[in-house]
Structure formats: structure tokens, C-alpha cells
Amino acid sequence: MNHPSVPTAPKPAATGLTRRAMLLSTLGASAVAAFAKVGGVDIGVCGNPPDFLKAPQYGYDYFEPSAATIAAMTEPAFATFKDQVLASPIRCSSVNILFRSQKVVGPDVNLDEVMKYLDSTFERCKSIGTEVVVWGSSGSRRVPDGYSRDTAWEQIKTYLKRAGDVAKAKGVVIGIEPLRKQESNIINTGAEALKLVHEVNHPQVKMIIDYYHMRIENEDPEIVRTAKDEIVHMHFANPTGRRWPHSVDEDPVFYAKFFEMVKAINYKRGLSIEGTGTFEADGAASMAFFKTELG
């Protein structure tokens, strides 16, 4: 199956400088030694908007905020953040946490309202360079006690087909995120996400792989190869404590298998750190880790 059409992120105003040249002139060469794709993979960090400017300072290729946070901003607050993003050498090429309170499973779902939310949220996200919207949001898809799982599955498919149409209109793609059983009672593995992608069969509805959830669910990293044509994004964290990764020794066997698969499928999209940590304490070590594993 062909990849969905993912438009190029908006560029800074024309100045005759490349993104890298702009960053070099702003931060100095020593500060941006890591600013480049690592093995062809863009390395980013999930976080809150106030930390946005730290990402390029530490050499990361993009920043991944919460879509729900972006949606909840007042117009003036969003305008300020958007200006900050567009003035920087990087973009928010992916967003996560699509929903806070909206539900797509259960007896009281209102998909018309959900679609209105997605329309305005995708519009904002697109304007700050978003290409992939990650749908994890366990509360939105929680199957109520005693509720038919078959019905829940069909509701999810209906939601994704309609959401896919909104995504197409806004020029983004949705990435279904498998979540460990401790967080979600449906779509816990890459294999389940892949099944859903195939059944929905929408060009703007794909999936992501999150190393942390994959590891907790003890899913074979081979799923990366199996699902290669449908993977549009990845998340990563040290499974011990769900922290920013520092060393190959943290989970040596599975780290090796995972990155072997990433290289085997010639993955060239985004990989975001999603875990506990800070740029100041972990940013340099994590970038060195990815250089070791992907270089």
C-alpha cells in the first residue's frame, strides 16, 4: 500500500539561508553538532510548548507537543506559539494526545462534535508544520465495562474513516498508537493497530510504533518489519522507568532487535522521545544514544 501524501512542513521566511545555516548562525556551530537526521531518521522530543525552543538548542530535528494542548490555547496564546515555531529552524512535525475528554467508543458518542474538534485542531496543527497526528488517547477509546468489544471495534473504524477524511482535507495523516494494557483496554499491540489500519483502509489512517509500549506488551520487534508500509511515526523511551534513553546497556537485546528492524525497513520518518526527562539532564546523552544505535 502506498504511503499517504504527507505535505512538506512550512518553511521559514525566505532569507537565502538553509535551515541548518540559520541554526548555525543563531546558536553557533558547537551547539548544533547533532542537528541533522541520524541515519536518515528525524529525532524529536515530546513535550510542552514552553520547552519548544530547547529542541533546536540541543540538536533535535522537531518538537512534538500535545494536540489537545494546542487545541485548548486561546487565540492570542496560539498566535504567539505559532510565531515562535515559524521563526525557528524546526517545526512541530508531529503531535500527540489528540483528545482529553472526547470519546469515540461507548453509548454516548457524538462523532459530529468530534469531527468539529478535529477540523479546528488539525487546522492549528498544520499551521505549525504538523504532518502526523498521533492517536493514542486511551480515554477516548476505552471500552466501557460490559460493552460489546465488537461494537467498540466498529465504532473505532467508523471514527477513523471520518477522521481520515478530515485529515485529508487538512493535509495531515493520523497514526494509530498501540498502548499497553495498563493504559488502554483495546489496541494494545502493533499487530492490532495494523489489523485496524487494514480494515479502515483509508490513505490518511496509518499507525505508529512506540518502543515502550511494544516492550511492556512483550511484542516481537519483528512487527516493525511486518507493518513497515503502514508506519508513519515512532515513539521511544527506556522501558525501565519510561525515561529518556542514555545507553545501549539499558535494554541491550531488545534495543538491538528494534534498531535492526528500523534499519531493515529503511525507515526515514520521525522518532520521538516520549518519557520522563529534561533537555538539560538528558538531551545530549539521548542524542548520543540515537547516533550510536542509528548511525
**pLDDT tens-digit readout, 132-165:** 999 999 999 999 999 999 999 999 999 999 999 9
Cell of 281: 539532564
Asked whether the predicted pLDDT for residue 53 surpasses 90, the reply is yes
Alpha helices in 38-146 (DSSP H): 54-57, 67-72, 75-86, 111-127, 138-141
- The residue-averaged pLDDT of 171-194 equals 98
Would you state the pLDDT for residue 109?
Answer: 98
Number of H helices, E strands in the chain: 12, 8
- The mean predicted confidence, pLDDT, of the chain is 90
The answer to the question of residue 16 being in a domain is no
17 assigned to some structural domain: no
The total of other beta-carbon atoms located within 10 Å of residue 138's CB is: 17
State which residues form the domain around 51: 28-294
Residue 21 lies in a domain: no
Q: How far apart are CA 144 and CA 197, in angstroms?
A: 23
In whole angstroms, give the CA distance from residue 196 to residue 167. 17
Look at residue 12 and tell me if it is in a domain: no
Q: How confident is the model at residue 36 (pLDDT cuts 50, 70, 90)?
A: low
- How many whole angstroms separate alpha carbon 180 and alpha carbon 189? 7
CATH code at position 108: 3.20.20.150
Burial of 107 (0-12, 13-18, 19+ CB in 10 A): exposed
Given this model, what pLDDT does residue 265 score?
A: 98
Whether the Cβ atoms of residue 84 and residue 132 lie closer than 8 Å to each other = no
Q: Taking the model in full, what pTM does it have?
A: 0.88
Q: Does residue 11 belong to any structural domain of this protein?
A: no
Q: Please state the rounded mean pLDDT for residues 55-60.
A: 97
Question: Is residue 2 included in any domain, yes or no?
Answer: no
Q: How far separated are the first and last CA of the chain, in Å rounded?
A: 28
Q: Measure CA 158 to chain center.
A: 22
Q: Which residues pair with 38 in a beta bridge?
A: 41
The CA distances from residue 257 to 133, 234, 262, 278, 281, in Å, are 26, 15, 9, 26, 27
Residue 14 CA, chain-centre distance (Å), reads 28
Asked whether residue 137 is assigned to any structural domain, the reply reads yes
Q: Does any domain span residue 7? A: no
Domain count within the chain: 1
**pLDDT level of residue 37 (50, 70, 90 thresholds):** confident
Residue 6 is predicted with a pLDDT of: 44
